[in-house]
Amino acid sequence: MSSVYRPRRSVLAVPGSSRKMIDKAKGLPADEIFLDLEDAVAPLANQEARGTIAEALAEDGWGDQIKVVRVNDWTTEWTYADVVEVVGRAGAHLDAILLPKVPDASHVQALDLLLTQIEKANGLEVGRIGIEPQIENAIGLTNIDAIATASPRVQTLVFGPADFMASINMRTLVVGEQPDGYDRGDAYHHILMTILMAARAHGVQAIDGPYLQIRDVEAFRRSAQRTAALGFDGKWVLHPTQIEAANDVFSPRQDDYDRAELILDAYEFHTSAAGGGRGAVMLGDEMIDEASRKMALVISAKGRAAGM
């Protein structure tokens, strides 16, 4: 994990067709905000929403949230125009494009090429705008390594549970909850771990998708805790009330963060010439070695990024 790790503990979804909701989102403490042109926007409202998004992005009043736009997927007729209009008009104010329903690397490569042309044509830094592929079906999961490595622009792998459940015929309509009749643990475990392994293998962030019962913050917290415990970096939030819970759940606990800093200090001292140049050292009753240092580095980087 590099020192430029930008937290995405909370990723707020905002319909791109609602100027009012976009204006409200500007001041919210989500780590990332994505303005949606896909499923939260009716097809007939799509064209107007592109303009609304481009205007809103270029205006003042944003915090330091990561700013992202979700375009429509490449099987529709809208993707190229979504990208051309939004990035052409507001590319300098945008951090990444969220690309839904990615089945294989070609969808990421197509977006990469289009972004490069728009960046060149508009005098923007080439390669700065990232890509966040959404894994939302069986074919996407099967091709996940190729998707993660399809472009240096890929910054995250994002789980889309609603579309995923639909695509595999999972027997539930409650997104984020276990299917009725399944009593063998977490029905999503394989999918989540596959996404996490690919993210870690290729050095990008792993982001969990939405929890749809937006009034039940405790249930949201439970759902977030499951993926935070595995090692995911953050989760979508669909309503401002879920932001604080996501920021909390995906930040390291204070005692873990303090311990991580202690391990790093102790390790640095004892492995230096002044400290005896040892490989494994004692910290209290615990023996720490290079692997402990790596685990501590992850927690420390996340904690520092979260302002601890």
Binding stretches for ligand GLV (CB under 6 A) = 134, 136, 160-163, 209-210
CA proximity to 212, closest of 250, 172, 251, 244:
172
**Tokens 């040892």 map to which residue?**
278
Q: Which is nearer to ligand GLV, 158 or 288 (CB)?
A: 158
Amino acid at position 147, single letter: I
| Count of chain residues binding Mg ion (CB under 5 A) | 3
Q: Which is nearer to Mg ion, 76 or 116 (CB)?
A: 76
- Interaction partner, residue 197 (Mg ion, ligand GLV, none; CB < 5-8 Å by kind): none
Q: Which is nearer to Mg ion, 166 or 306 (CB)?
A: 166
**Smallest distance, Å, CB 40 to ligand GLV?**
9
131-150 positions binding Mg ion, by CB under 5 A: 136
Q: Is 163 in the site for Mg ion (CB under 5 A)?
A: yes
CA distance 119 to 4: 22
Amino acid at position 200, single letter: R
Q: DSSP state, 150? A: S
CA distance 65 to 67: 6
CA distance 71 to 75: 12
- Interaction partner, residue 161 (Mg ion, ligand GLV, none; CB < 5-8 Å by kind): ligand GLV
Q: CA–CA distance from 213 to each of 70, 114, 177, 207, 245 (Å)?
A: 22, 36, 10, 18, 14
**Smallest distance, Å, CB 39 to ligand GLV?**
6
**Smallest distance, Å, CB 72 to Mg ion?**
11
- Interaction partner, residue 210 (Mg ion, ligand GLV, none; CB < 5-8 Å by kind): ligand GLV
Q: Which is nearer to Mg ion, 133 or 303 (CB)?
A: 133
Q: Is 160 in the site for Mg ion (CB under 5 A)?
A: yes
CA proximity to 217, closest of 183, 241, 194:
241
Q: Which residues bind Mg ion (CB under 5 A)?
A: 136, 160, 163
